[in-house]
Amino acid sequence: DRLASRPAAHHGLSFALPSFERPGLTSSDLRSYASLYFVTLIDAEDNELITLETIHHYVENLDKYFGNVAELDIIFNFHKAYYILDELLIGGELQETSKRNVLKAAGAQDDMMEEDLKRDTPLNRIKLKV
C-alpha cells in the first residue's frame, strides 16, 4: 500500500493526513494561515522552510486582495485565487516576490473581466438572463 496515513494534531484538528511512501519525499505537513488550511508534500531536495514561506506569501496576497481573506472568498472566487497563485508560481517555483506586482496583475485581470462583461456577446446575453 503506497498510501499510509498519520494523525494530524495541528490546531486541535484530528484527522488522517496522507503520507505518501515514495523515495525522496521527506514530509507532509498541515499548516493554518488566516483561517485557511494548507497541506504540503515536500521532496527531499526541496527546502521545507521555503515551501512554508511561499504559502505564507500566497496568503498575504490573498489577504490584501480580498481584505481579510476567508474560506468563502476562495470558494466563491476560486478563479481569482487561482489567478493570484498563477502569478506567484510557475512550475511549482516562486516566480514573483512583489505583492504589488501580483496585485496589479490581478487588478488588470479584473478590469479585463469587467470589460468583457460589458461587451454584447451571445455568452454575456445568456449570463444576463440567468
CA distances from 114 to 63, 67, 74, 83 (A): 22, 20, 19, 15
Question: What pLDDT is stored for residue 20 in this prediction?
Answer: 53
Please report which confidence band the pLDDT of residue 129 belongs to, taking 50, 70 and 90 as the band edges. Answer: low
Q: Is the pLDDT of residue 120 over 90?
A: no
pLDDT in tens, 12-55: 444 455 555 556 666 666 777 767 888 877 777 888 888 888 88
Can you give the pTM of this predicted structure? 0.70
Question: What pLDDT is stored for residue 82 in this prediction?
Answer: 92
Give backbone dihedrals phi and psi of 20, rounded to 5 degrees, phi first. -85, 120
Cβ partners under 8 Å of residue 28, min gap 6:
17, 18, 19, 20, 39, 40, 41, 42
Q: For 48-71, what is the mean pLDDT? A: 90
DSSP state of 47: -
Please report which confidence band the pLDDT of residue 104 belongs to, taking 50, 70 and 90 as the band edges. Answer: very high
Please report which confidence band the pLDDT of residue 113 belongs to, taking 50, 70 and 90 as the band edges. Answer: confident
Question: What pLDDT is stored for residue 10 in this prediction?
Answer: 44
Q: Is the pLDDT of residue 11 over 70?
A: no
First and final CA of the chain: distance in angstroms? 48
Question: What pLDDT is stored for residue 16 in this prediction?
Answer: 52
Question: Apex CA 79: angle with CA 123 and CA 54, to 5°?
Answer: 160
Partner residues linked to 38 by β-bridges: 31
Using the structure block, give the residue that is written with the C-alpha cell 470558494: 75
Question: What pLDDT is stored for residue 92 in this prediction?
Answer: 80
Tally Cβ neighbours within 10 Å of residue 105: 16
